[in-house]
Amino acid sequence: MKKQLRFNPPAIFKLWLAFHLIPACVLAQDSSQALPPGYYIVVAAYRIGQDTYAQNYISRIKNNNSKAAYGSDLGRGYLYVYLDYFSDFDISIKEMLATRKRDGFEKAWVRIMKDPLPEAVEVVSPIASPPVNLANDEPAVEKEAEVITEGATQTTPAEVPADSIKSEEVELNVTEEAPLSEPKPISESNVYLSLFHSTTNKPISGEVEIIDTERARLISKLKGNEYAQLPDPKSNSGRLTLLANVFGFRPLQHELNYQRIPGDTMLHYVEWSGNHYLVKFDLVRYHKGDINTLFNVYFFNDAAIMLPESRYQLNSLLEMLNENQHYRIMLHGHTNGNARGKIITMGESRSFFALTDDVKEGSGSAKDLSRERAEVIKQWLIDQGIAEDRIEVKAWGGGRMLHDQHSVNAKKNVRVDVEILAE
């Protein structure tokens, strides 16, 4: 078995000079920095010239405390983002399999750069990169490594023990990445639904509603920041509406045609990335006067105490208030109907998400209950460090129901709305 060489002053010095002494601004403009021969653990590939995308992807990797760099394969016309660089076949396979077990790198592969190997190689430090713009940095191609033996091809599974793969027994060949093709109709392509903060460029968790535009009906919901195949609306027009409605941000919708290729000018929110479409949702925060509903904040029956699953959206509200210290909000409490009844409130333990033994039971109007529910959210925010004078409360009871109180959607009447009073 070949020995991994980790220290040879002449070779290492040349690589260090190439990647550390050349200004980052020069590298950012030049895709001609060819990768030296060796075995690379690659996690993303881009077309030559897409240095910004590669650098942005590296920035995201660095945020997860991983090293990364990129370089070009001029013969193939790709830029490769890689995590490590070896002169030994066996070690590269072992490290690639280990890399696949890490979050975000399940499709890592080994890329062989040919020509005589240098005497020694070492991991190249990441190139300095500009601020991340995750709306545009998704890899163009990602393929798994393949082992070729006696003419038959089989994909190397991630769980194969590294010591079962021997360079003396098989010849490693890397899957040829799918060629970067001309744009195809949406129906024949994957899409990447990129939800990101328009100011910070940070990715945002959320879903995209896929709506049949012609019939105005919801078809499905797809998770943002993932690859997906859009559903067929099975309509004459083929029109789809994609709606990103993420709490804390203004709703944003885009229109696509399932049957067609976007026009030559390309919609500003759609980009063909070689083998998939990138659909960009650059979401903006609420402005003064905007009102949105905490639809994922739920309460126990007859109680101003929240169910545990309410924490996720409350954290989104908290993040919004922390991001902009000028935000002032009003919490509007609503109930299903106007009947009087029992009202359960927190006890001395101040448990916001559980019916503890010390809860207080009383009675009151629907308006009283709606006020208590808005107040408990206010108190939770204050406990998280939000100044009390930034939050106001208004009780509506059943005065502004969204649905008939006896309909199947009656539970949606029980809600708290957030209004932006100042920003």
Indicate the domain borders of the chain. 9-173, 186-283, 291-422
- Which architecture characterizes domain 186-283 according to CATH? Sandwich (2.60)
For 157-195, letters b (16+ CB in 10 Å) and e give: eeeeeeeebeeeeeebebbebeebeebeebeebebbbbb
Using alpha carbons only, give the angle 354, 356, 361 rounded to the nearest 5 degrees.
105
- Token pair 């208590």: residue: 372
In the CATH hierarchy, which fold is given to the domain comprising 291-422?
60s Ribosomal Protein L30; Chain: A; (3.30.1330)
DSSP structure class, residue 196: E
Six-digit token string for 260? 């067609």
**308: helix, strand or coil:** helix
- Token pair 């005589």: residue: 116
- Token pair 């100044």: residue: 387
From residue 392, give the alpha-carbon distance in Å to each of 164, 378, 414: 65, 8, 19
End-to-end CA distance of the chain: 64
Residue 25: per-residue pLDDT:
34
Residue 274: per-residue pLDDT:
74
- Token pair 């003419």: residue: 151
Q: Provide the whole-model pTM.
A: 0.57
Q: Which pLDDT tens digits describe the chain residue by residue (423 residues)?
A: 444 444 344 444 444 444 443 333 333 334 447 888 888 898 888 878 788 888 888 888 877 777 889 888 877 778 888 998 888 877 888 888 888 887 778 778 888 887 644 443 333 333 333 333 333 444 544 333 333 222 333 333 333 333 333 333 223 333 333 445 678 899 999 999 999 999 888 899 999 999 999 999 999 999 999 899 999 999 999 999 999 999 999 999 999 999 888 764 457 899 887 778 889 999 999 999 999 999 999 999 999 999 999 999 999 999 999 999 999 999 999 999 999 999 999 999 999 999 999 999 999 999 999 999 999 999 999 999 999 999 999 999 999 999 999 999 999 999 999 999 999
